[in-house]
Amino acid sequence: MEVAVNRRWNVNGQEIEVTFNSGDRLLDVLRNDLGLMGAKEGCGEGECGACSVLINGELKLSCLQLAAVLSDGTAILTAEGIENTRQGPLLQETANRNGAVQCGYCTPGMMVAMYWLMEHPKIPAGQGLSGNLCRCTGYKALIDTVDECRRILAGKKDGDMT
Amino acid sequence: MRNWCGEPVPRVDGLDKARGRTVYLGDQSLDGALFGVLVRSPVAKGRLKKIYWDESIDWSGLFRVEAEDIPGQNCVSIIKKDMPCLAFDKIMYLGEPVALVASADLGLARSAALTAKQDIEPEKPLLDIRQAVEKYRQEPQSDGLIHSIDIERGDVQNALASSDLIVDGEYWTGPQEHVYLEPQVVAAIPRGDKIEILGSMQCPYYVRPAVALALGMPDENIIVRQTPTGGAFGGKEDFPSSIAIHAALLAQKAHAPVKIIFDRQEDISFTTKRHPSCVKLKAGVKADGTFSALEAEVLLDGGAYTTLSPVVLSRAAIHACGPYRWRDVGVKARTLRTNMPPYGAFRGFGAPQVHFAIESHVDEIAARLDMDPVELRKKNLLREGDQTATGQVLKESVSAVACLESVSRAADYAAFKKKLEHVQSTRHKKYGLGVASFWHGGGFTGAGEEHIAAEVAIDLMEGGRVQVAISSTEMGQGERTTIPQIAAQALGGIPLDLVSCDLPDTSNAPDSGPTVASRTIMMVGALVESCCMDVLAYLKKVSKTRDDEQIADWPDAVGRALKGRPKIRFAKKYEKPPDLKWNEERHVGDAYAAYAWGAVAARVSIDMLTMETTVDDIWCTVDAGKAINPKIVEGQVQGGLVQALGYALFENLQVSEQGAFLQNRLQNYIVPTSMDTPGLHVELIENMYSRGPFGAKGVGELPMNGLAPAIRNALRQALGQAPNRIPMIPENLVEQGLAGNTGG
Ligand code: FES
Ligand code: FES
């Protein structure tokens, strides 16, 4: 039997409180209860990555994530929250300039994966994006965007230190 | 004043998409909306006698529609009217819609739909292109034909008889699913005596008359608005009409908005796919390698209903001879009927199938002549002044040779061939480099553009703002960015941010035709350009600017033209250039106003233990005329190539004995990921087309055409023999006897 679950999370930097059914997927809670439509359902079974979010810094598929198991205090980052991060605007603008955005349906999930790759600079871009399908771009522009942003961010860091 | 054409300006819709702010229809909540679901037939062929519903469940708040409830004509009108919106009596494929259910609760709607018991007398279905081809060859005149096209030029039998060498071959291609990332979605909202349709779609003016006919309403009472579209590739060309009708029928019944959203499994199982094909070729060649005669039998599996198959077949037939000079040609093209969901439009539209055949065949001819495949192509590729199979004289913008030369230079073809002789024999891995040439006619085939008679409009508004009103849609290909670039430039280089092109709404945008056939830039863009020239001439008059001068103050000039009105509209309609001639019945004449050209080389390796093919590098050069936005053009080529890579190597659809696709989820229908993306080396040649906007031709479909045969030809080089069937998955290679040969 489904029961109502109440949680306090930090979503995109904001403390929120939400009540949902115990069987709900995180994707449904984000979209239906929190009105965050960035994460998309492209397959509903963990194959396409359109629903990607970060949960406590880990790249996760929200269509496979039972919401109820995320305890109070869990930090969730969705595509909508990326703009307000340090690397966000750079990633978004570079992606657009490079032609890494076409139809845009994979894009929110891609941006989350790309953001995660900025935090994990050792993982090759092609490998890091391999859980996210894009049918439009052929991936080259996406991979180039990750590489370019990494170069820029690494440069900035070096600059900071001198 | 700026030169916008040729600028890689970032897409206007890109940042919103990157920020996760773009609202697709599935993200939009509609007040009081119900969810619609389809009840589908459980058999592939049979007679439907009656549908029994479980009346013991609570039907309040639930709505249902059957064929007899349809107020207008029970058909999804496109080329013919043979496909019902809801099947009655005859069932033609597994999963054919027979009824509809709606409820505010999607789960409830689904379970109510499941209670429908269909009394069906099953019949034996024809499911597979192999069976269909066999049947056709036994009785070519049977009722199993959806469409036939013959192209004859010269005397092919005589020419074959007098050729030095005759090469035969037969090539098969499988179906391909679009996998647009956003599954099909549509909504219908009753508005008084009108119905508004929202949807992810390519062709608002296909949806409008289709819904009007089924609902028995005048066209004007159906208002169609495209919502942001998460990919389409042809899969949202004709298909949205059918679910738009379903949503409208339910909305009318329930007096409430109804949304229909497919999940991925329903989408893969029951929407259109690329036509499977069997192409048989007999080529007559001179001893020096000159092509003389080609006989082609092009058979496509059309599925259960006509839908777009006649035009797909026409494009296949015309492109079947490849971008080559043949003196005598005989093409027999047929679409066969099977009991599968109708096959439909998919980027390339019949051309990728025939390119797989002819480009593989050219390598077979080269092998028989012991000639280099690149040299053989160069000898026979079409050049300016040559005639195509339909007798069209190519007057301008022909780049087949230039593209091939560019690619073989970039891939360092000659050096690779030398190196290959050493590496081949020592490894359990084999290597190959294959090439293919390709072409693609821009715009509708034959008289198609004349029939569509596209219209565009330009609205001038306060502050000097310019709105381009067209029914062409943005589906990721960059229309909302490229069309304004054309307009801004044609208006004298005004600031680009003054110009916009919104998603179409049929109550505002004139019918500029469907967003298909690589026609949006080449045909619609040309009309926009010429409409802008009228606007500019008018504004120069009202602002007293001399013809050879720039308008000094654009907003002021527009203000003078507006005279206080909120907007004024200029319009332009397509007129057929008088020199283009076409005979539809005989398929003779100017099949397309212009062609885009390309060549591609693929470097592959194959693991002889697993028979898995890896593509390491792809070099591709295309000529689509002026690249209005080179970044967008490059993106089209890269994306098209990776779709073609999937078509060639991974995307496998098998049909069960009942008539269902066995691969109907992304778990088993495998599309390329970022790990499969090879080195992509794209070059653009700009060979201007005099009637295109600033010289542009179409590029959308072109990159889909050549890669599959290039990979096949690379495998031929690696293995010594070649697969003649795609997808070239390991199982298929083994089945064709290509495994186990590690000797080299
Ligand atoms: S929707 Fe979650 S992986 Fe596809
Ligand atoms: S941009 Fe369309 S799926 Fe990636």
Q: Does A102 touch chain B (CB under 8 A)?
A: yes
**Do A138 and B179 lie within an 8 Å CB cutoff?**
no
Residue B583 CB: number of other CB atoms within 10 A? Answer: 13
Collect all residues with Cβ–Cβ distance below 8 Å to B216 and sequence separation of at least 6. Answer: B71, B72, B73
- Say how many CA atoms lie within 13 Å of B523 toward its Cβ: 35
CB pairs under 8 A between A and B: 171
Asked if B674's CB is within 8 angstroms of A129's CB, the reply is yes
Cis bond upstream, residue B373 (ω within 30):
no
Residue corresponding to tokens 């069209």? B392
Res. B430: pLDDT tops 80:
yes
B 219-238 near A (Cβ less than 8 A): 228-233
Mean predicted confidence (pLDDT) in A1-18: 96
- In 3D space, the residue among B689, B674, B595 whose CA is nearest the CA of residue B638 turns out to be B674
Identify residue B24 by its one-letter amino acid code.
Y
The reply to whether residue A138 touches residue B23, judged by beta carbons under 8 angstroms, is no
- Residue B740 in any domain: the answer is no
Average of per-residue pLDDT across B70-92: 97
Q: For B512, phi and psi rounded to 5 degrees?
A: -90, 10
Which of A40, A47, A92, A105 maximizes ligand 2 atoms within 8 Å of its Cβ, making it the mutation to test the pocket? Answer: A105
- pLDDT band, residue B86 (cuts 50/70/90): very high
Q: Answer whether residue A158 shows pLDDT above 70.
A: no
Kindly report the average pLDDT of chain A as a whole number. 96
Pocket of ligand 1 (CB under 6 A): A 41-44, 46-51, 61, 63
Domain-located, residue B743: no
Residues of chain B with pLDDT > 90, as a percent, come to 95
- A156 C-alpha to ligand 1 centroid (Å): 34
Q: What is the pLDDT of residue B744?
A: 40
- The mean per-residue pLDDT over the stretch B650-670 comes to 98
**Residue B476 pLDDT exceeds 80:** yes
Q: Coil, strand, or helix at residue B269?
A: helix
Interface-testing mutation among B12, B17, B684, with chain A (most A C-beta atoms within 10 A): B17
**Are residues B412 and B314 part of one domain?**
yes
Taking the C-alpha atoms of residue A112 and residue A108, their distance in angstroms, rounded to an integer, is 6
Closest CA to B310 of B203, B205, B394, B238: B238
B152 assigned to some structural domain: no
pLDDT at B195 over 50: yes
Q: What is the mean pLDDT of residues A143-157?
A: 93
Same-domain pairing of B244 and B282: no
**What pLDDT shows up at residue B420?**
77
Confidence label for B427 from pLDDT (cuts 50, 70 and 90):
low
Residues B622-632: b if buried by 16+ CB within 10 A, e if exposed: bbbbbbbbebb
Ligand nearest to the CA of B232: 2
In chain A the first and final C-alpha atoms are separated, in Å, by 60
* Domain tally, chain B: 3
CA atoms within 13 A on the CB side of B724: 17
Smallest Cα–Cα separation from B583: which of B150, B21, B108, B187? Answer: B150
> Which chain B residues are Cβ-neighbours of A40 within 8 angstroms?
24, 26-27, 181-182, 230
pTM greater than the 0.90 cutoff: yes
The bridge status of strand B594-607 relative to strand B429-442 is antiparallel
Q: Give B475's contacts in chain A (Cβ within 8 Å).
A: 103
Judging contacts by C-beta atoms under 8 Å, the chain A residues touching residue B675 are 126-127, 130
| pLDDT value at residue B409 | 96
pLDDT at A161 over 50: no
SS3 label, residue B419:
helix
CA A60 – ligand 1 centroid, Å:
10
SS3 B520: helix
Same domain, B192 and B240: yes
Residue B144 has pLDDT above 90, yes or no: no
Give the residue from B573, B594, B610 where a domain finishes: B573
Quick one: B21 exposed, middle or buried, by C-beta within 10 A (0-12, 13-18, 19+)? middle
What per-residue confidence (pLDDT) applies to B426?
Answer: 56
What are the tens digits of pLDDT across the range B478-519?
999 999 999 999 999 999 999 999 999 999 999 999 999 999
Q: Distance between CA A120 and CA A110 in Å, rounded?
A: 15
Say whether residue A45 is in contact with chain B using an 8 A CB cutoff.
yes
Residue B541 pLDDT level (bands cut at 50, 70, 90):
very high
Phi and psi at residue B337, to the nearest 5° = -95, 130
Proportion of chain B above pLDDT 70, given as a percent:
98
Task: Give CATH for domain A82-157.
Answer: 1.10.150.120
Measured between CB atoms, which of B20, B230, B666 is closest to A103? B230
| pLDDT band, residue A156 (cuts 50/70/90) | confident
List CB contacts (< 8 A) between A139 and chain B: 642, 672-674, 677
Q: Is the pLDDT of residue B254 over 80?
A: yes
Distance CA B401, CA A1 (A): 69
Is pLDDT above 80 for B740? no
Pocket of ligand 2 (CB under 6 A): A 101-107, 134-137; B 181, 231, 476
pLDDT of residue B1: 66
For B303-349, how does the pLDDT look when each residue is reduced to its tens digit (9 = 90+)?
999 999 999 999 999 999 999 999 999 999 999 999 999 999 999 99
pLDDT band at A162 (very low <50, low <70, confident <90, very high): very low
CATH code for the domain of B564: 3.30.365.10
Select the CATH number that applies to the domain covering A4-79 from these four: 2.60.120.620, 3.10.20.30, 3.30.565.10, 1.10.340.30. Answer: 3.10.20.30
**Counts of helices then strands in chain A (DSSP H, E):** 6, 5
Nearest to B709 by CA among B650, B644, B659: B644
Give the whole-number percent of chain A exceeding pLDDT 70: 96
Range of the domain at B493: 14-21+454-573
Task: Clarify whether residues B375 and B405 are in a common domain.
Answer: yes
| One domain for residues B233 and B255 | yes
pLDDT given at position B165: 98
The answer to whether residues B349 and B481 belong to one domain is no
The average pLDDT across B583-604 equals 97
How many whole angstroms separate alpha carbon B231 and alpha carbon B640? 12
Q: Taking CB atoms and an 8 Å cutoff, what residues of chain B touch A50?
A: 181
Distance in angstroms (rounded) separating the CA atoms of residues B377 and B354: 16
Q: Quick one: closest CA in B to A138, which residue? A: B639
A125: nearest CA partner in chain B:
B674
C-alpha span between B30 and A110 (Å, rounded): 27
Q: Which of A38, A105, A133 sits opposite B671 (nearest CB)?
A: A133
Q: Label residue B143 by pLDDT band (50, 70, 90).
A: confident
Find the CB nearest A135 among B24, B180, B667: B180
Q: Mutate which of B181, B262, B620, B637 to disrupt the A interface (most A C-beta within 10 Å)?
A: B181
Cα atoms in the Cβ-side hemisphere of radius 13 Å centred on B583:
11
Q: Does residue B205 sit in the same domain as residue B315?
A: no
Write out the residue limits of the CATH 3.10.20.30 domain(s) in chain A: 4-79
Tally of residues, chain A: 162
* Intervals of CATH 1.10.150.120 along chain A: 82-157
Q: Are residues B671 and B623 in the same domain?
A: yes
The yes-or-no verdict on residue B130 having pLDDT over 70 is: yes
Q: How far is the CA of B270 from the centre of ligand 2 (A)?
A: 22
Convert the pLDDT of each residue in B371-412 to its tens digit: 999 999 999 999 999 999 999 999 999 999 999 999 999 999
Contacts of A125 in chain B (CB under 8 A): 674
User: Quick one: DSSP state of residue A36?
Assistant: -
Residue B616's H or E segment, with its range, is strand B612-623
Contact B151, B318 (CB under 8 A): yes
Ligand 1 atom closest to the CA of A47, numbered from 1: 3
A contacts of B666 (beta carbons < 8 Å):
42-43, 45, 47-48, 133
The count of other CB atoms within 10 Å of the CB of residue A158 is 9
Test A126 with B18 for CB contact under 8 angstroms: no
Our mutation pick for probing the ligand 2 site, out of A102, A111, A130, counting the most ligand atoms within 8 A of Cβ, is: A102
pLDDT band at B741 (very low <50, low <70, confident <90, very high): low
Residue type (1 letter), B356: F
Helix axes B400-410, B413-423, angle to 10 degrees: 50
Tokens encoding B37: 């679901």
User: Region B465-475: what's the mean pLDDT?
Assistant: 98
Q: Looking at ligand 2, which residue's alpha carbon is closest to its atom 2?
A: A103
CA–CA dist B184, B235 (Å, integer): 9
The pLDDT of residue B743: 43
Q: Token pair of B546, please? A: 């001399």
pLDDT tens-digit readout, B514-533:
999 999 999 999 999 999 99
